[in-house]
Structure 1
């Protein structure tokens, strides 16, 4: 046990040394580098979004080496924001971390208090109740407005579940999917597409997507991850079609759908 504690202390010391090195480098860059000195919180925003997506890509690819690099890139941005804020005495990194620690302690009373929570669902329900105590007017108030719609739908449903608003059985959710599919289909059940009310059809399509996301969540499938894997699979197969047809002196743009389908079936076996 003593050796384990010694090893833990050594690892922690190494972590703190590395983090301190990052803070020193950030100080140097902010003082000496023209590009870093020019940056503002607003100018870094779109770069942070890009880095976050690159982190997500590494996770989907299960590329641990790339993941290590992308975690570092995101961490740099977080330190950068805190550094800029400290220059105007708005807040500093210590305040950021202590605020985070205080929030984690407050939101985990089953660890740091007397509350009982034996399952992850009980933890989520307590979490949402505590957020309301913190001042959130709505359980859904913490869902970022700028989230992509598919991810936002999942987070909305997760938060509603945390408040106790959810289906009881997966069959109920699937029945809702079927209901929304029929309502969407009825909007297009016209002899002439020009007679379709696109505004109503768009609304019904949104309801259908929302119900599918709900079903995926209910059976523990991440819809964002599932769709991205399908995107990557389609890209791989389509690029195979392009490459193989080019080897045979053909161009997809001049091929019939039947001709392309031959390459598509080959791509599925690739």
Structure 2
């Protein structure tokens, strides 16, 4: 069982642990010669549960994403933390922008890593592969939207303060997932013009079910307790963190049942 900081434990404990408990463990996987180390948290027992892929921010798989997997397990899901970077890549805060930026410059590789992680999740014995979701934070928020653009058979996708990228004309029509974008109104990473371009791109695909929720005064990284650089547009906001989690819970309950 992972021991979390007081700030992360305070968020985790909003979801009461089930009497039967949860099980959690690291999971190693290898694809095309690259080693990855993710994390799984699930309700105890042998039953299958809806699977939720959880994608890290630009620091890679950390206690933050493990804690979110644990929260999902307490809600009755199997949370699977994807490792987009690879097991040997855990950048410092100083190097993280360059590492994440490499994926923004190579979207085919980014999407490949995401589909590989999704495939690993649905192969887990505790996952009901017919009920799946993907959620992500910052870089991870952008990542799950990239997964959706591949046409992956994921039912629900939730981006928390992610970058909002568009694609080639007509690509949005590939999306089969229902989308929920949880956005900070004061996020310089995805300013108003980026949000409008993202929405206009989705409007070209009328069949796509999407929604955007914008939180007043929330900056980038508003769900991360350690975010405290408002001069760079990133700061934790407790109200937006709680509201966005509740919005995700309602959305997953609606889509996954």
TM-score range, shorter chain: under 0.3
Relative to its length, the structure with more strand (as a share) is 2
Which structure's relative contact order is higher, taking Cα pairs within 8 Å and 6+ residues apart? 2
Rg larger in structure: 1
